[in-house]
Amino acid sequence: MSETNQADINTLGFVSATEELQNNFKQVEDMMKMFSDSHQSMNLDPFNLGEAYTDWMAAVAKDPAKAMQASMDFWQQSMQLTQQAMSHAFAGEGQEKPEPVIAEGRGDRRFKHDDWSDKPVFDVIKQSYLLTSDYARKLVSDVDGLDEKTEEKVKFFTERYLDAMSPTNFAATNPAVLEKTMETKGANLLHGLKNMIGDLEAGEGKLKISMTDTSAFTLGENVATTPGKVVFQNRMFQLIQFSPSTDKVLKRPLLIVPPWINKYYIMDLQPKNSLLKWLVDEGHTVFVMSWVNPDETYRDVGFDHYVTEGVIKAVDAVENITGEDEINAIGYCIGGSLLTTTLAYMKANNDARIKSATFFTTMIDFEDPGELGVYIDEKQICGIEQNMEEEGYLDGTQMAGAFNLLRANDLIWSFYVNNYLLGNDPRPFDLLYWNSDSTRMTAAMHSWYLRNLYLENNLAKPNALEINGTPIDVSSIDVPACFISTVDDHIAPWLSTYKGAKLFSGDVRFILGGSGHIAGIINPPEANKYGYRVTDELPDEPQAWADSANVEEGSWWPNWNTWIRPLSDEETIDARTPGDSTLPVIEDAPGTYVKCKLDDPTPVLEETKLVKPAAKSKPAKKAEPKAKVEKPAAVKAPKAEEKAKPKEAAPKVEAKPDDLTQIKGVGPKMAETLNDLGITTFAQIAELSAEQLSAKLVEVDARNSRYDTVAWLEQVAQLAKK
């Protein structure tokens, strides 16, 4: 080789690149060996797909006609595509492009590069993939003889396989990657390999694709920046009180219960889209719970603890700090399910401090959890429990991976192409930073939650659950409630959240926003996006509700604000500053717990001792003048004839109506139903059998069959004696 040619190669960096490439492959080889050595201890089919696809094949074999028809359609369309491609190849320039045999969906962003439609070879590759995908979907849809659960699983994972096999995911068939490779002389692939090695190292042999530049963000500096102070803490959460930005605030404070499977600052990413800042600016005294990121020492912490040491204790702290025993509350996602459970628990224990409840994308009825249902069956839960038994918790990356798989093209393959094939470094993005900031879940709580809510749907059944020995009945909740759901939510489908809203006994407003689980909630008014539907009347059929609901433009935030303010007569007081109460400031927001990363041990913090607030002084009653007491006249003894005269019968006194809402499970609406049936006292209920009482209720509304009338009868005997 000439010196000139060697110099040219060195100029291109091929020698150094080759050496670096060899080193990189050596690292990958070592990692793969480590992964291979440990594979025997892994469950390589955690979703039991082998069994599901075996059942599917057996069902197809029993009725092959549909599969044969799908194959014939696929063959005909493939021939049409072949003829079209041949015709286009031999035609001269300027020929009008024929209509495609098949086209991608409107929301499919994988094929946005011009070559997918302008270059015949890529157009054929794209259409061939789309035809094959359509064929596969037809094969796994509406299969006779296959149970619904298995069919959903087969359809879901077939779709994920098709996502993985997209030609956009391979360097040789992605025009954008080929173009970048030519421009950089292959440097993109080399840099992409380095990115992959870094992700393999971060995942300890498992590919953990980076979605964003996590080094670009620091909590309290450029995310989670709304000013506030930690004013209470225990082993379960830190309570943050945000500093006021108005001179006057609503007298009734606001407590927010976020999900514990994510961190609270999704509501406080940047000032322009911070829900927490907006609430403060609207004059609310805002408290938010920042949940602990539990490690193995929390193994036995269960759902009960999240109620009693969590939400109940937060309510105690808010009352202690503000002196108010009337509180508004918000629950987000599973935080809303927890808030629902807490409200039923409080109702059963005559605790009425929470006066209104708002639920963001919250399921209470889990009968149809949408695509998440493919992860829920006895075998999969047993597998999760086995893993948690070893660790004491569920690693947050497992939950994140499950959620990401629901939107694989957007949350997995787009980053695979960008980081590894195009060789780009992940860009800073606050939402994806939050999404990658995973939390752990305690073994006891997560097992209870999966089984009782998702698998058995017990929260929707009156008295099917107990918290600290207290039966939980959602239908007893009678405080004003507002449900906010989103039309494209794949985690809490709005049809399911609507069913949950129907379980409450009090007045309910339902708002359906646009977009998905996050964007539909974090939707500031300034953005003027998505729009929403809203009514205060909830017919039985969700579609009937959607057809009759008012359609409004922009964000739902202001509408919610006009709903919640009148509930406390918009009474205002001077703004409350954190620390100006019985409890001193502990530290600045966002606090210690939220900064605990996935691999960090859980911080051990000193529990705050609550000081009982001074009793509210009541205005003294004006002394009323004493009435003049007349001396009673002497009573003469009756004469003999008067004694013999029979007394007239005393007028019959009607029984005074009882407060039927004292019966656990009976809210104001049910009490009104009973009154309409002529049942106004505990004694009247006690005279009926459980079957008779249930039959009367079912005559009014068939849904009333869900009520546990046996439990009612057990209570009324005691209540009637009081």
pLDDT surpasses 60 at 615: no
Is 482 annotated in the active site?
no
**Please, are residues 443 and 393 in contact by the beta-carbon 8 Å criterion?**
yes
240-282, pLDDT tens digit by residue? 999 999 999 999 999 999 999 999 999 999 999 999 999 999 9
**Please, are residues 192 and 548 in contact by the beta-carbon 8 Å criterion?**
no
Cα–Cα distance, 700 to 534 (Å, whole number): 27
Same domain? 195 vs 261: no
409-434, pLDDT tens digit by residue? 999 999 999 999 999 999 999 999 99
The stretch 666-673 carries a mean pLDDT of 76
pLDDT given at position 627: 41
Total domain count for the chain?
3
77-121, pLDDT tens digit by residue? 999 999 888 877 666 556 677 789 999 998 899 999 999 998 989
Same domain? 331 vs 278: yes
The residues, ordered by sequence, that sit 6+ positions from 485 with a Cβ below 8 Å of its Cβ are 361, 362, 492, 494, 497, 498, 510, 511, 512, 513, 520
* CATH number of the domain encompassing residue 451: 3.40.50.1820
Same domain? 185 vs 245: no
Same domain? 489 vs 364: yes
Same domain? 341 vs 478: yes
Cα–Cα distance, 476 to 536 (Å, whole number): 19
Cα–Cα distance, 56 to 405 (Å, whole number): 22
pLDDT given at position 42: 54
**Please, are residues 258 and 287 in contact by the beta-carbon 8 Å criterion?**
no
Task: Give the residue from 577, 595, 613 where a domain finishes.
Answer: 595
The CA–CA distances, whole Å, from 110 to 120, 405, 421 equal 17, 16, 14
Same domain? 190 vs 233: no
Task: From 336, 355, 345, select the one nearest 476 (Cα to Cα).
Answer: 345
pLDDT given at position 647: 46
Band of residue 66 on the pLDDT scale cut at 50, 70, 90:
confident
Specify if 83 maps to a domain: yes
Specify if 653 maps to a domain: no
Quote the domain boundaries for residue 156.
16-202
More confident residue, 36 or 692: 692
Same domain? 237 vs 189: no
Residue in 333, 382, 482, 596 annotated catalytic? 333
Cα–Cα distance, 276 to 287 (Å, whole number): 9
Specify if 476 maps to a domain: yes
pLDDT surpasses 60 at 169: yes
Specify if 193 maps to a domain: yes
